[in-house]
Amino acid sequence: MPTQTNPNWWKEMSVYQIWPRSFADGDNDGIGDLHGVLEKLDYIQSLGVDAIWFSPLYPSPNADYGYDCADYKNIHPEYGDLDLFRQVLDGAHERGIKVILDLVINHTSDHHEWFVKSKEGPQSEYHDYYYWRKGKKPGGKKPPNNWLSVFEGGAWEYDKNLDEYYLHVFAKGQPDLNVANPKVREEVKSILRFWLDMGVDGFREDVITYIAKTEGLPNGFPLMPVGRGMEHWTSLPPVKDYLREFKEVLDEYGAFTVGEAPMMTPALAKEYITDEAGNLLNLMFHFKHMEADCILIDWVGLPFSLRKLKKAFSTWQREMYGVGWNALYIENHDHPRIIDRYGSLKYRVASGKMLAAMYILQSGTPFVYQGQEIGMTNIKLDRLDQFKDVITFNNYNLFKKIGFNEQRFVKLANRRSRENARTPVQWSGEKNGGFCDAEPWFPVNPNYPEINVAAAEADPDSLLHWYRALLNFRKENPMVIYGSYEEHYKSSRSLYVYSREHGGKRLLVICTFGEKPVQFNAPRGFDLTKAKQVFGNYAAPETQTNGFVTRPWECRVYLWE
Ligand code: GLC
C-alpha cells in the first residue's frame, strides 16, 4: 500500500467503488448499508485495492439515490450513522485502504435545510444559495430561460408562494447550488473539513465541471432535446477559481480528488490536472471510451465500434502521458454492465477477463465497480414499474414521443439503463444471491446461482481471481503504473494491441474483440518466443511462437524483463 509520504500514492493506488444501496445488506432489511460494508472489508482488501470510493452515504430522500443530498455532514439512516461510518473508516485504514467520499455540490436535495429556508424568499440568507429567478411571465407561465434539465423535463421549477422559479439541471428534487455565492463556497469548505478532520482521504467530485453558470443565465442552443443550455453550465472558467479555493483546504490534508467531467476533452483536462494548471484536481473521469456503442449517452445506441474505443483510450493515454494522469474505468453506477456492452454474454468470463486486462494495464489509476470483479451482467425486467431511476422514467416520456410503447421501451431499458449496474451484489447462490432474506429494494439478477462471489472464490479460473492477479501485477510492476504506452495495429477491427515500457521492461497486451479467429503476428521488435506470458484467458501454448490464431475474446499479456 502506498503511504501518505509517497506523493504518488494516488497514481499507484487502485480503487473499488461501492454504490451503498446495493453492495451488502448487513441488517437484512433489503437495503445495502454500512453494517454490510464492515463485514465485507476483508473481501475488499483481498481484491488488492488501496481505496474505496463510496457513492453518497448522506441522508437523502432518494430522488437520485444519494446524489440528492439532504445533509452533507451525516449518514443516511438507511445506511447507518456517523459512529458506524467511523468504524468503517477505521476498519478500512487498519487494512491499508483509503476512503474517498462522493462530494455532490452542484446541487442539494430539495429537502436540504438550505433549500427549505431559501423558499422563505429574498429576505432569507439562503435564498441566494440557489438560482431563484422571476419567470418571463408572472404566475408560472414562462420560465426564466429555455434550459432543459438532463434528468426531468424543463430545468426550472415554479414556486407559487414566491412567484419564482428555481434551477435544476438534474431532477426536480436536485436544485442547483449557486456556487458563485461566496457563502456557498464557505459551506463547501466546511463540509470538506468535517470529513477530512474525521480522517477521510479524498473526494470524488460529482459533475464538478457544472458548478459555474453563465452570468445572466441566457437561453441555450434551441435544438437540444435534453440538457438544453448545457453550454452555459459546462466547464466555464469560474469552475477553476472555485476549485482553487477548495484546494487550499484539501492541500492542508493532502487529500485526493477525482472530478466527474462530462464532455471533457484532453485539452480541457490539462487546464485542471497538470502541474502547470496547479493540479486543481488529481484526476478526471471523462466519458469518451464509454461512447463506443452509443451517441453521447448510453440510451442512443449504435453498434459497438472497436476503433472508436481504441481511439478514445489511446488519445487520453497519449495526451496525459508525462503531464497529467488518467482515471481508468469501464463500469460505474451510471452505465449498464460492460460485458453486455463491449464483451459477450456467451463468452462472459473470457470477454470479461479481456476487458479487465485491456483497461487495468493502461497508464492511470484503475477503478473497479462493485460486481464488475465477478462479471455481473445486465438484468432483464418485464415491466416499467420495476424500474426506480428518474432517468429511466424521463426517457420513457421522451421515447414515447417517438413511438415507443412500454414493452419496447422496457426492452431498451434492459440494455441501456444505468439501473443494470444497481442490482444487488450477488454474494452467494443462496436466496436473493445472499444479499438479504427480506425483499430486496431492487430485483436481484436471477443469474445469481451461477454468477456470485462464493462461486467465483471457489473457481481458480474465475474473473474474481483474474482481477486480483491483475491488480497485484500492477502493484508489483512499476512499468504498468509509470510506463509509456504505444498502440499497435490501430486500424484492426478485432484486435486491440498496445505495449508499455519502463526501466528496461516491456509489456505487450493483446485483446481480441469477438469470436472470429484472426491471425495475430507480433509487432516488429516484439519477440514472443523470448517473453514470458504473464496473463492469458486460455491455457498458454506449450511452445510460444511469434504469432497465433486468436480464440474467442482471447487475451494474452507478454512480459520482457
Ligand atoms: C453524476 C452521478 C450520477 C448522478 C448525477 C447527478 O453524474 O454520477 O449518478 O445522477 O451526477 O448528481
Of the residues 64, 260, 293, 373, which is catalytic? 260
For a ligand 1 pocket test, name from 17, 206, 211, 332 the mutation site with the most ligand atoms within 8 angstroms of its C-beta. 206
Listed residue (168, 145, 146, 170) closest to 157, CA to CA: 168
For residue 371, how far is its CA from the centre of ligand 1 (angstroms)? 19
Spell out the long-range contacts of 223-227 with Cβ–Cβ below 8 A and sequence spacing 24 or more.
Answer: 224/148, 225/148, 225/398, 226/148, 226/149, 226/150, 226/394, 226/398, 227/148, 227/149, 227/150, 227/169
What separation in Å is there between the alpha carbon of 203 and the centre of ligand 1? 14
Rg (CA), the chain: 24
**455-492 per-position pLDDT tens digit:** 999 999 999 999 999 999 999 999 999 999 999 999 99
Alpha helices in 419-527 (DSSP H): 453-458, 463-476, 478-482
Averaged pLDDT, 254-258:
98
**Amino acid, res. 158:** Y
CB-based contacts of 370: which residues, under 8 Å, 6+ apart? 16, 17, 18, 19, 22, 23, 425
Q: What are phi and psi of 212, to 5 degrees?
A: -120, 145
Measured in Å, residue 56 CA sits from the centre of ligand 1 at: 10
Rounded CA-CA distance 471/524 in Å is: 28
Quick: pLDDT tens for 76-123: 999 999 999 999 999 999 999 999 999 999 999 999 999 999 999 999
Read off the pTM: 0.98
Distances (CA, A) of 535 to 353, 442, 559: 10, 36, 9
Q: What mean pLDDT is predicted for residues 168-184?
A: 98
Q: From the candidates 152, 157, 206, 340, give the one annotated as an active-site residue.
A: 206
Q: Is 90 a catalytic residue?
A: no
- Spatial distance between the Cα atoms of 55 and 495, rounded to a whole number of angstroms: 34
How do residues 487-518 score in pLDDT, each as one tens digit? Answer: 999 999 999 999 999 999 999 999 999 999 99
Query: DSSP 3-state assignment of 201?
Result: coil
The residues facing 488 across adjacent strands are: 497
Label residue 2 by pLDDT band (50, 70, 90): very low
State which of 207, 390, 418, 420 you would mutate to test the pocket of ligand 1, scoring each by most atoms of that ligand within 8 A of its C-beta: 207
pLDDT bucket at 152, cuts 50 / 70 / 90: confident
CA of residue 456 to ligand 1 center, whole Å: 30
Q: Which atom of ligand 1 is nearest to the CA of 391?
A: 10
Over residues 154-177, mean pLDDT: 97
Atom 12 of ligand 1, nearest CA residue: 67
Kindly state the percentage of the chain with pLDDT values over 90. 98
